[in-house]
A = this chain, B = another copy of it.
Amino acid sequence: MNRLTGSDGAPALAILGPGSTRLVKELDRVFTGWGVTAGAEEISAPPLFPVTDLEKFDVYTNFPQLAWVAGSLDLTDDQFKPVDGRFGPGAVTEARYGLPHATCYGAYLFHEGNQVADDTLVTLVNRCFRNEDHYGGLRRLASFQMREIVAIGSFEHTQQVLARFTERIQAFAAALGVDLAKVPAGDPFFRNDNGRALLQKLSPVKYEFQYGDDLAIASVNTHRNFFGERCGIRLESGEHAYTSCVAFGLERWLAVLTEHFDGDLDAALTAVRAAADPS
């Protein structure tokens, strides 16, 4: 693995070598298979969205500090030549696109304006991007891969999906011999949404599956009808759809398995295959 370095000296980006790539692809195959077996259709979204779409999800209100936006270069006055490895303010023209923090946005935008069945299930993987105040190699990257299984439909459906995959994640980790703690967490989506923020205090909307100190390698998330409303997704009843999602941070699984198997990626691969198919 060859690591590129962020501003604070910690690796912000990682190019994965053959063994790591094989393991990440196998993990993604396993999680995708869980979704597809449960009835999910796989779709694929680009890692770039119009700012107007991300704005609908309160991204720039609730966590502007994490946001990366993409702009083109001002080609007048030679401004497009980087100085000390960076383009200064003013060298970048207006930014109309944003890079996503999370994969599931693509699922809501795919179904925007649609009427969906009460038990809709979608899976997709995407590159995600976060402007963090520090980086830490595979454990905290500026750009990483997140596979998600996204439920869209009745509230009951969204909860059943989370319950099913909570069990699945716990059983898979146990079969790998990896200790995961299920820990309730806050979801910054609802910071400025008073009704839902109150509900969040009453009943956690996010649980993380944490390894070691506090490394979240998967999470289950309930959004109630937030995305259904913002994207105008409706059920046959006419009600806005409820959504939930199960998320897997692929490089973080790689980090954990690399540590757990003492760097023996072939052993990790064999164990993942066995844990995924216990028969």
Contact = CB atoms under 8 A, between A and B. Distances in A.
Interface residues of A, number: 71
A18 to B, nearest CB: 4
A190 B163 CA distance: 56
Copies in the complex: 2
Contacts of A21: 42-44
Interface in A1-38: 2, 4-5, 7, 13-18, 20-22, 24-25
24 contacts: A2-B112, A5-B50, A13-B49, A14-B46, A15-B109, A17-B41, A18-B43, A21-B43, A21-B44, A25-B42, A46-B127, A46-B143, A47-B127, A51-B86, A52-B85, A60-B80, A64-B80, A65-B75, A67-B80, A69-B72, A71-B87, A89-B89, A89-B92, A127-B127
Interface of A: 2, 4-5, 7, 13-18, 20-22, 24-25, 41-53, 55, 60-61, 64-65, 67-75, 80-82, 85-97, 99, 106, 109-112, 127, 129, 131, 141-144
